[in-house]
Every structure is written in C-alpha cells, then in structure tokens.
Amino acid sequence: MNKDKLIDIRRQLHQIPELGYEEVKTQAFLLDYINSLPQENLEQKTWRTGIVVKVKGTSPSKMIAYRADIDGLPITEETDYPFQSIHEGNMHACGHDFHMTIALGVLTHFAKSPGNDDLLFIFQPAEEGPGGAQLMLESDILNMWKPDQMVALHIAPEYPVGTIATREGLLFANTSELFIDLKGKGGHAAYPHTANDMVVAASHLVTQLQTIVARNVDPLDSAVVTIGKITGGTKQNIIAEKSRIEGTIRTLSIESMTKVKQRIEALVNGIEVGFDCKATIDYGSNYCQVFNDSQLTREFMDFSKTKVNLIECTEAMTGEDFGYFLEEIPGFMFWLGVDSEHGLHDAKLKPNEDAIQVAVDLFVEYLSYKVSSKG
C-alpha cells in the first residue's frame, strides 16, 4: 500500500475517535476495509467492538499475532488539522489511529501474499479503559486462535521518525487507576462548625498522598502517584458534603504496587477519623507490566538495527494493557518514533505521518522473515 493511501486511512480514522467499547463507527470502517481485501486467505471474527483477522499460511506450523488498539480518549482536540475529530470531546490523542492504520497496511500485504505460517491481526477495543486486552484474551476467539508469538507497537512523540526503541524485559510499568470518594456533612459557609468540609478533607488527603513515593517506596525502586482531578462542592458559599479524587498509580514492581495501595488505604482511614467522614476507594482498571520476551526481543532488535535507527531504551511508567497478552503469550512491544512537539494524551498531539510507512515496511519485512522461517 502506498504512503498516500495509508495517510488517507489514518486521517479518516482520526476523525472518528470513540471511547472503550463504543467503537462502533471505527469497527465499521475497519470491517469495510478488511472486506475490500482478497478474502481467499482471510478469516475474520468480531468480538464486541473489536475484530480478529486470521491470514492463513500456506503450510503453517505456528501463528504470530499483531495487536492494534482502536479506542480514543475523552479529550477535546486542539490541533489545527483540517481533519479534526468530528466527535466532540473525543480525540485520538494516544496514536491509536496510527496503530490501526499500520495494522491495515501490514494486513493488506499478507492478504495478497501470505507466508508459510498463520498471522493474526487483533484490533482490540478499550485499551484506554476499562481494559479490553484481558477480556479479549479470555474470549472464545483467542482460545480458538491462540497465537504462539505476539507483537505490538506504540507511537513515541519524543523520538524522530525512522527511530524505534525497545528493550528486553520490563518496558512499561504496572498501573492502577485511583478513585477516592469522601462524604461528610454539608452546610452554610457562615457556620463551618456545623459541617464536615470535604473540600478541606480532600485537600489534606492529596497532600498526604504525595508523601507515599517520597517516604514509603524504596528509592532504588520507582513509583508514581498522580492526582489528575478533584471535584467537590456546588457553590462558593456552601460547605461541600462530597468530594472526589481521581488519579493513577504507576510502579515498576508488583511489590511496590501492593505497598503503595496499602499506604493509600492507611492515609484514607486517617482522613475518615480526622474529618469525621466516610471514604471509599476504587482502583478501577489495573494493568500489569509489559514484559518483553528476551529472546524474541533481541532477535527483533538484531533484525531491525540495519533497517531503522534502533535505540535500546529504559523502562517507562507508561501503562498498556498489552501486558496481559504477554503474560500468556511470548512477545514484545516497541516504541515508534513520530516526532511530535506535544506528547501522548495531549490535545495538541500531531504525530508525523511519515512514521506510518516506516512501521508498515518494518513489520512487513520482519513478519515475512518470521512466517518463512522456523524461528
């Protein structure tokens, strides 16, 4: 597939971002394109708003899967694109429009020119939440078509086009959402002694939460507790009965994740006593670490280093539910450089579209090698 066609697909997908398990237009677009390809080597099945496409090999002895996530984010786009999101309040601000386009480009090649072994293209919903990978992995489709190896990529705004980055072992962190609801007693602003102010309680708790990483996590380990949203109250002269804190936890070890959560619970218990209120904690979606298979990753790195600029990167605090696939299926993920001034989850993210062709060419070469070899 030529570069102009790939860019056109990306731009069409960019205009229709949809949240997890709401990717109805996205699924329809993908199915229309997949159905336009030669069908003699393809089998396809849908799972909720996702799609799984099998490319039948000529003499298969293994199956290799490529996963692309398909959902967008609840972000209002602030680019100057003439092809901005037509879904107000939603945006492909994490590059999933790129991921899908690359998958379609690679699928197009192998639909026309299959290799010896089977390939599986997984278009997965709900990566951004509530976590589609784990449920998709447990589905009847993936039990029937369970791959022997698996690979995925993620765009990286900080790297230039033509560069990829990965490493053996831990690539992305363990992650957990964090939602804390506080309920006290509302009242008139002039009579604070008759109420229990949950804005004040939430403010104290946020400050205390920032001590966890500084004082409860081994400094040789790494963890992040970020509070991204606080809501509380209804009017400037009414003491707030309720408040809500929303954030995220990131750790490089499972042990640190357990310790951080234990400390959060202890601090919240203290707030309940100190402010005479009730509190509930919801950890929402939890994503396990992305841990790259050493042998497959090193093989891929050796294969790629003469074709692109390869960087052996350090681990990142990024969260990715692709880790659930890698718990059961050997494989790896890598960063694809897209050279954007603005980062992931930014309303102004503008990845360089030249990176799409780089990724398609690399995947076609790599998967052609894999499905024609005994590796």
Question: Which active-site residues does the annotation give?
Answer: 69, 128
Question: What is d(CA 284, CA 263) in angstroms, rounded to the nearest whole number?
Answer: 17
DSSP secondary structure, 259-273, as one string: HHHHHHHHHHHHHHH
Please name the residue ranges forming H helices in the chain: 3-14, 24-35, 96-112, 132-137, 140-144, 198-209, 211-216, 254-275, 294-304, 322-328, 354-371
Buried b (16+ CB within 10 A) or exposed e, 328-339: ebbbbbbbbbbb
Question: What is d(CA 127, CA 132) in angstroms, rounded to the nearest whole number?
Answer: 6
Question: What is d(CA 105, CA 150) in angstroms, rounded to the nearest whole number?
Answer: 17
What is the distance, to the nearest Å, from the Cα of residue 363 to the centroid of all Cα atoms in its chain?
A: 20
Virtual torsion, Cα 197, 201, 203, 205, nearest 10 deg = -170
Residues 13 and 90 sit within 8 Å (Cβ to Cβ)? no
What is the distance, to the nearest Å, from the Cα of residue 228 to the centroid of all Cα atoms in its chain?
A: 17
Q: Which residue has the tokens 């081994």?
A: 218
What values do phi and psi take at 192, rounded to 5?
-65, -25
Q: Which residue has the tokens 């350090």?
A: 314
Residues 253 and 169 sit within 8 Å (Cβ to Cβ)? no
Question: What is d(CA 166, CA 280) in angstroms, rounded to the nearest whole number?
Answer: 38
Residues 52 and 61 sit within 8 Å (Cβ to Cβ)? no
